[in-house]
């Protein structure tokens, strides 16, 4: 291998070199992960019934709500892999796990493919093209949606930002379905709007009907709190993966715009290596089972191309840094009035510094 690092600003060459180094098996679907995830669905249903009708004390229901929330998260992450074609070769099985994994969040497989696979992955952290990107400072004056997005984003200092993770992921899915997909820059996305909107309404009615059968207490512990816990779990990854990174006007470069996080090994195991998010953006159709190997090779090609933040430190940084991109460039984050201002390079140095207290 050459001792000259492959340039970070040449993602095509970096991907090509990685493909050459990785084993062929790494690019094949991993159906066992899907089978395991599907087996968790009956367990979740049993626990939900136990919570709703088992006569358990409140503290036990609360603990079981957390467990169900983590099971929902795991099945959702397996569905994420499956809809990237990393689990099954069968479209029907992909749809099955997609429905089971994302329906608790009121997201249909069709909406997910349009929102996440097509829109987000084709232009991660690209202004105007990524539906999940933080707004720019001038957008607050001209766009109502940008004002709402900023208010609920960590770092805005708005009180909503401190509780928003409890429903943020679900809200993002609805935002794409009912707002983003109608914007001109997303008209190319393949989405049957009437079908997916109708199915989403039916999903909401179905979950609402189940909650009515369970009664207020049962619905709170068996449906609402697990959804809250699952949303929070997903967002502590998603927000740290992208919202500390530079934005671009036109270039989707996962070696720059996406970060991974170093989290607890139990979380890595339970959440199917979702912390390896940069590696996922490098090869979206590859199973995260091989993400550690991808990271190893990225660092061998160019250590600067691998960004892995300590998870808790990155979460704290989210709430201390401003949450708007500067109108001047995508490498500076600013407050609503332009101050404070901090560069993403500065954030990276603080987060990776051994003695950082950020």
Global pTM value: 0.95
Under DSSP, the state recorded for 347 is H
The helix (run of H) or strand (run of E) holding residue 44 is helix 31-53
Under DSSP, the state recorded for 126 is B
pLDDT of residue 251: 87
Output the CA torsion sign for 299, 304, 308, 313: positive
The low-confidence residues of the chain, meaning pLDDT below 50, are 1, 356-358
pLDDT of residue 355: 66
The string of pLDDT tens digits covering residues 84-143 is 999 999 999 999 999 999 999 999 999 999 999 999 999 999 999 999 999 999 999 999
- The two three-digit tokens of residue 312, written as one number: 């808790």
Q: Are 115 and 131 in contact, with CB atoms under 8 Å apart?
A: yes
Neighbouring C-alpha atoms within 13 Å toward the C-beta of 171: 16
Q: Are 341 and 334 in contact, with CB atoms under 8 Å apart?
A: yes
Kindly compute the dihedral angle of the four CA atoms of residues 281, 283, 288, 289, in this order, to the nearest 10 degrees. -160
Q: What CA–CA distances, in Å, run from 225 to 50, 166, 229?
A: 15, 9, 6
Q: What CA–CA distances, in Å, run from 69 to 102, 199, 281?
A: 12, 23, 25
Boundaries of every domain in the chain: 11-352
The helix (run of H) or strand (run of E) holding residue 242 is helix 225-242
DSSP string across 244-288 = TS--BSS---HHHH--EEE--HHHHHHTTTTT-HHHHHHSTTS-G
Q: Are 355 and 313 in contact, with CB atoms under 8 Å apart?
A: no
- Separation CA 139–CA 195 (nearest Å): 31
Kindly compute the dihedral angle of the four CA atoms of residues 297, 299, 301, 306, in this order, to the nearest 10 degrees. 110
pLDDT of residue 81: 98
Neighbouring C-alpha atoms within 13 Å toward the C-beta of 74: 24
- Separation CA 320–CA 166 (nearest Å): 19
Q: Are 325 and 246 in contact, with CB atoms under 8 Å apart?
A: no
Q: Which residues contact 47 (CB under 8 A, 6 or more apart)?
A: 64, 67, 68, 71
pLDDT of residue 358: 45
Q: What CA–CA distances, in Å, run from 223 to 7, 20, 47, 182, 256?
A: 48, 46, 11, 30, 38
- Separation CA 180–CA 182 (nearest Å): 5
Max Cα–Cα distance, the chain, nearest Å: 65
- For the chain, the residue count is 358
């Amino acid at each position: 291998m050459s001792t000259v690092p492959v340039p970070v600003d040449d993602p095509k060459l970096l991907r090509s070199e990685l493909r050459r180094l990785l084993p062929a098996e790494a690019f094949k679907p991993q159906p066992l992960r899907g089978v395991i995830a599907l087996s968790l669905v009956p367990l979740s249903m049993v626990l939900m019934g136990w919570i709703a009708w088992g006569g358990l004390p409140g503290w036990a229901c609360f603990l079981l709500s957390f467990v169900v929330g983590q099971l929902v998260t795991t099945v959702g992450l397996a569905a994420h892999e499956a809809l990237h074609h990393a689990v099954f070769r069968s479209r029907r099985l992909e749809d099955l796990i997609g429905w089971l994994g994302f329906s608790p969040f009121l997201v249909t497989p069709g909406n997910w493919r349009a929102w996440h696979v097509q829109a987000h992955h084709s232009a991660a952290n690209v202004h105007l093209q990524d539906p999940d990107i933080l707004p720019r400072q001038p957008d607050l004056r001209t766009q109502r949606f940008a004002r709402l997005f900023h208010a609920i984003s960590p770092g805005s200092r708005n009180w909503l930002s401190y509780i928003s993770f409890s429903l943020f992921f679900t809200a993002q899915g609805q935002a794409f379905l009912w707002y983003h997909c109608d914007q001109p820059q997303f008209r190319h996305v393949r989405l049957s709007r009437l079908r997916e909107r109708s199915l989403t309404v039916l999903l909401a009615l179905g979950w609402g009907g189940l909650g009515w059968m369970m009664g207020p207490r049962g619905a709170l512990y068996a449906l609402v709190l697990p959804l809250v816990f699952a949303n929070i779990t997903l967002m502590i990854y998603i927000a740290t993966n992208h919202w500390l990174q530079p934005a671009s006007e036109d270039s989707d470069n996962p070696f720059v715009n996406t970060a991974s996080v170093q989290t607890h090994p139990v979380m890595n195991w339970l959440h199917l290596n979702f912390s390896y998010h940069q590696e996922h953006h490098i090869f979206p159709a590859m199973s995260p089972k091989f993400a550690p190997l991808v990271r190893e090779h990225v660092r061998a090609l160019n250590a600067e191309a691998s960004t892995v933040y300590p998870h808790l430190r990155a979460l704290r940084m989210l709430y201390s840094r401003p949450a708007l991109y500067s109108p001047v460039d995508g490498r500076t984050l600013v407050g609503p009035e332009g101050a404070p201002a901090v560069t993403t390079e500065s954030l990276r140095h603080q987060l990776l510094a051994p003695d950082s207290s950020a």
